[in-house]
């Protein structure tokens, strides 16, 4: 039931986001065609990236949430990272196009028409983005989904973006001719920054980057505090989608029975699972102390 609930809320957030962004795209296309605003084109480009990212997220999450099978024993979580790299390349290309368009408008400025239309569309976009952020925040509180949490941070940034577009159009309306293309270039750099951030995070997942130092220290402390554990070593961690993978070695007395050693490992696993939010895959190796004292053993 928990898995079903997680999947339901994550898809619910994605669908609400797609509906709101679709409304924003329709109004921004109308405003851009009517006003010719480069900043509005930048905002439209960002909304197109948003709906592409959300649609891909919806499709990929459906695959990434599948349980492990015979061909994918570690699950399908890395599919989300692969989609992230594709999104990053697409967003970066759009940002470069927008920079060239903004530069062209600086050298060949045109007078904006229907500037107030752009103002009202920007206000409408801000309201829609607020709806998205509120829904995503509720879903994150319910599921702790990393994907939706990252999406929510992105849309909070979009609030700033839409405000920038609003200011750019208002300045152009009052005679500051270069405000519109300059704000368009600013939007482009915002897109490039986001694409780099998405690419870096996706690469970290694909390259099996270790969990944060604080999380590694928590693993060591939880395992080492057990009464029968004399030490912990060879901690290895990574994350694939929503699943954290943890491997470690426990140092135990030689005389400990197999059943007692198993119980110690099981208790460590239970405490690690309780500590980390979400799904955790834990592999524990048991080492007798006498073996660790041999010089040939590599810790």
Q: Which domains does the chain have, with CATH numbers?
A: 2-206 (1.20.1510.10), 213-292 (3.30.70.1350)
- 75 neighbors 243 (Cβ within 8 angstroms): yes
How far, in Å, CA of 140 to CA of 4, rounded? 15
pLDDT of residue 296: 46
Three-class secondary structure of residue 286 per DSSP: strand
Q: Which residues contact 262 (CB under 8 A, 6 or more apart)?
A: none
Judged on CB neighbours under 10 Å (0-12, 13-18, 19+), 37 is buried
How far, in Å, CA of 252 to CA of 258, rounded? 11
Average pLDDT for consecutive 10-residue bins of the chain (299 residues)? 62 84 86 71 74 74 71 73 73 78 75 62 85 86 68 69 69 70 77 79 81 90 91 89 87 92 93 84 91 57
How far, in Å, CA of 179 to CA of 168, rounded? 5
What is the phi/psi pair of residue 232, to 5°?
Answer: -135, 135
pLDDT of residue 298: 44
pLDDT of residue 299: 40
How far, in Å, CA of 30 to CA of 14, rounded? 24
Instruction: Count CB neighbours of 247 within 10 A.
Output: 15
Question: Dihedral angle at the C-alpha atoms of 5, 8, 12, 15, nearest 10 degrees?
Answer: 160
pLDDT of residue 40: 67
pLDDT of residue 209: 84
């Amino acid at each position: 039931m928990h898995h079903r609930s997680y999947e339901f809320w994550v898809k619910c957030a994605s669908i609400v986001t797609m509906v709101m962004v679709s409304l924003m795209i329709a109004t921004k296309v109308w405003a851009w065609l009517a006003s010719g605003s480069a900043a509005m084109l930048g905002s439209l480009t960002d909304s197109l990236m948003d709906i592409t990212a959300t649609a891909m997220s919806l499709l990929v999450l459906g695959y990434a949430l599948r349980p492990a099978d015979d061909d994918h024993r570690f699950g399908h979580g890395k599919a989300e990272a692969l989609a992230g790299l594709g999104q990053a390349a697409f967003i970066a290309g759009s940002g470069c196009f927008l920079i060239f368009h903004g530069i062209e408008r600086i050298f060949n400025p045109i007078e904006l028409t229907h500037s107030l239309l752009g103002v009202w569309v920007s206000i409408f976009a801000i309201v829609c983005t607020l709806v998205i952020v509120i829904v995503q925040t509720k879903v994150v509180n319910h599921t702790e989904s990393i994907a939706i949490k990252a999406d929510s941070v992105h849309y909070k940034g979009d609030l700033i973006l839409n405000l920038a577009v609003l200011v750019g159009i208002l300045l152009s309306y009052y005679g500051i001719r270069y405000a519109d293309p300059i704000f368009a270039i600013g939007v482009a750099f915002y897109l490039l920054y986001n694409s780099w951030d998405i690419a870096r995070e996706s690469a970290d997942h694909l390259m099996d980057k270790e969990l944060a130092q604080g999380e590694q220290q928590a693993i060591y402390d939880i395992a080492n505090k057990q009464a029968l554990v004399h030490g912990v070593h060879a901690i290895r961690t990574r994350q694939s989608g929503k699943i954290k993978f943890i491997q470690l070695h426990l140092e135990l007395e030689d005389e400990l029975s197999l059943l007692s050693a198993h119980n110690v490992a099981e208790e460590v696993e239970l405490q690690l699972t309780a500590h980390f939010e979400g799904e955790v895959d834990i592999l524990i190796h048991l080492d007798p102390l006498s073996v660790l004292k041999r010089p040939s053993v590599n810790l």
